[in-house]
Amino acid sequence: MYDNWEELKNCCMGCQRCELAQTRKNLVFGVGNPNAEVMFIGEGPGEQEDLRGEPFVGRGGQLLDKMLAVVDLDRNKNIYIANIVKCRPPKNRDPRPEEQEQCIGWLRNQTKLIRPKIIVCLGRISAAKIIKPDIKITKEHGIFFERNGTLLMATLHPAALLRNPSNKPAAMEDYFRLRDKIKEICTHTYDDQLNI
Ligand code: URA
């Protein structure tokens, strides 16, 4: 456990804990404000993310940014975004359980330092690892679960919404529920809005 964000990041960037290290172009540590009250967690980097070293920068990421903007969330201001695994699985296969287990310590350390009030899991793999292994995302998205004082919510993965655009309105509802919850329990996420 690192107490210092920069030390954590420096050490993580050289990670060789699993075989994904061998095929990565860039490790994707995360992006956003480490003082955020709201954290988003995806599955793992895809091709674009591997090339650029930043999470959610492909087509799915562009959709994510648009949906976030509707509820005044912005990766460069008031949220933090990371993934369950920090390196791209070859051909975008699902990260294996052992890869998830070897990597999750980094995410746990990030989460301990950020101390988010709300964690949003993007997609089934993230929700299964963080909320509960048997989560049914189609039925249980948008529901807040509480664990040790942190609220956890799953929503549909942006890439799944690109494949099934008819699910976009249901997913957007999750973001509206998130906005309501932020207004209820967060203290500085929407500070900008207070100053208008
Ligand atoms: N999909 C994810 O789950 N995470 C990313 O960073 C990109 C695509």
Q: What distance in angstroms lies between residue 70's CA and the mean position of ligand 1's atoms? A: 20
Express each pLDDT in 109-151 by its tens digit: 999 999 999 999 999 999 999 999 999 999 999 999 999 999 9
158 lines ligand 1 (CB under 6 A): no
**What does the block give as tokens for 159?**
């890439």
Question: What are the structural domain ranges in the chain?
Answer: 5-184
Instruction: Write down the mean pLDDT value for the chain.
Output: 97
Express each pLDDT in 16-58 by its tens digit: 999 999 999 999 999 999 999 999 999 999 999 999 999 999 9
Contacts with 147 (C-beta within 8 Å, 6 or more apart), sequence order: none
Distances (CA, A) of 168 to 8, 24, 115, 152: 36, 31, 29, 20
Q: What distance in angstroms lies between residue 46's CA and the mean position of ligand 1's atoms? A: 6
The DSSP bridge pattern shows strands 118-122 and 38-42 to be: parallel
- What is the CATH number that goes with domain 5-184? 3.40.470.10
Nearest CA to ligand 1 atom 7: 56
Among 100, 122, 130, say which to mutate for ligand 1: greatest number of ligand atoms within 8 Å of CB. Answer: 122
55 lines ligand 1 (CB under 6 A): yes
Judged by DSSP in three states, 18 sits in coil
Neighbour count for residue 40 (Cβ, 10 Å): 28
99 lines ligand 1 (CB under 6 A): no
pTM (2 decimals)? 0.97
